[in-house]
Amino acid sequence: MGTGAQLGLVEESTFGTYVAPTRFFEFVTEGLDLDIDRIESQGWRANQRVLRTGRWRAGRKLVSGEITLELQNKSMGLLFKHCLGAVATSTPGGGTLTRDHTCTLGDLRGKSLTIQAGRDDRGGTVRPFSYLGCKVQTWELACALNQFAMLTLGIIGRDETTAQSLAAASYATGIELFTFVEGSLTIGGSSTPVRAATISGDNRLPDDDFALGSALMREPLEPALREITGDLNADFTDLTAYNRFINGTEASLVLDFTGSVIEGALNFGVQLTTNVRFDGETPNVENPQEIRLPLQFKTIAPAAGDPISIRYRTTDTTP
């Protein structure tokens, strides 16, 4: 039915070993599922016209799917940590209740989650589907006019089980959501009006890291450079943005969402900062309306400093 559905997760101490979820999220969709390969014999037997029993076996297992959530002011620091890999927590100046959880690119080795989806059947029983050894393979932060900001996580994992108990869902108090109204974007330190912004990360984690002796995936390690790209639907106001594309000029891009006051001058917020290269394109006239300037970009590591960071300002004492 869906009305009793829940989604919870927790960090694992050991990759692929179940831990009861302790953090729960309001979610829009979850699409986690288990795929099991079938190994079928190719041997021929006289007068056998369909596959014979005992001539097939279960093969490798793989969990995959997406989770989509509205961006909220509490509980999400852990998700950003698993998107990028590293996190540092500090108290900003003037704060006592406020914490900044600043996530940057770091090693994803040894970082995995148990994710549990509670799915209610037709009889009203909520069935727990627990996913072990989950890692964030891809992520996307996006917002457009008249919408909530959204975080989408592409997950790969080691196994699925229904043998664990359903964790009791409890949610952070005072949850607020960020919308396009709280959003702003700057490029090179200048405010840039946009109608939509999307930033996507691909951690390039392989989904085929298996070895003889087990149907379960080993912990996937990073075999290639990560890729972080984005797309802006911007106004065509002058040639500044266009010239960055033509001249190959890198610039700092900051996507910021500012929520309600925590204390003093400190507000809940999410601030993504990244150094980017613009990859196009030329503005064109398509019909009698304002000319738009689509801006595609890619994160580039600068000579000094982090190529990307996500500062999550909240009252959570830990990510």
Q: How many CB atoms lie within 10 A of CB 13?
A: 9
How many domains is the chain built from? 1
Would you say residue 152 lies in a domain? Answer: yes
Enter the tokens of residue 241: 């943005």
Direct distance between the N- and C-terminal alpha carbons of the chain, in angstroms, rounded to an integer:
32
At 41-90, the pLDDT tens digits run 999 999 999 999 999 999 999 999 999 999 999 999 999 999 999 999 99
Would you say residue 165 lies in a domain? Answer: no
Cα gap 275→216, rounded to integer Å = 38
CB hemisphere CA count around 113 (13 angstroms)? 27
Q: How many CB atoms lie within 10 A of CB 40?
A: 11
- Strands 183-187, 251-263: parallel, antiparallel or unpaired by DSSP? antiparallel
Q: Does residue 262 contact residue 98 with C-beta atoms inside 8 Å?
A: yes
238 vs 34: which has the higher pLDDT: 34
Largest Cα–Cα distance of the chain, in whole Å?
Answer: 83
Type of residue numbered 7: L
Give the pLDDT score at 261: 98
Give the pLDDT score at 285: 65
- Give the residue among 72, 80, 86, 248 at the shortest CA–CA distance from 175: 72
Q: Which residues is 77 bridged to in the sheet?
A: none
- Lowest-pLDDT range, 234-248, 257-271, 297-311? 234-248
pLDDT band at 242 (very low <50, low <70, confident <90, very high): confident
Cα gap 54→57, rounded to integer Å = 8
Would you say residue 212 lies in a domain? Answer: yes
Would you say residue 275 lies in a domain? Answer: yes
- What percentage of the chain carries pLDDT values higher than 70? 97
3-state secondary structure 29-69: EECCEEEEEEEECCCCCCCCCCCCCCCEEEEEEEEEEEEEE
Would you say residue 218 lies in a domain? Answer: yes
Write the DSSP string, 148-209.
B-EEEEEEEESEEES-SPPPPP---TT--B-BGGGEEEEETTEE--EEEEEEEEE----S--
Would you say residue 47 lies in a domain? Answer: no
Domain extent for 131: 6-38+58-160+172-314
Calculate mean pLDDT across residues 22-28.
98
pLDDT of residue 1 exceeding 80: no
Would you say residue 136 lies in a domain? Answer: yes
Cα gap 265→173, rounded to integer Å = 22
Place of tokens 């990360």: 201
Calculate mean pLDDT across residues 119-143.
97
293 vs 91: which has the higher pLDDT: 91
Would you say residue 135 lies in a domain? Answer: yes
At 294-319, the pLDDT tens digits run 899 999 999 999 999 999 999 999 99
What are the two backbone dihedrals, phi and then psi, of residue 186, each rounded to the nearest 5 degrees? -125, 145
What is the torsion angle, in degrees rounded to the nearest 10, for the CA atoms of residue 25, residue 273, residue 185 and residue 298? -100
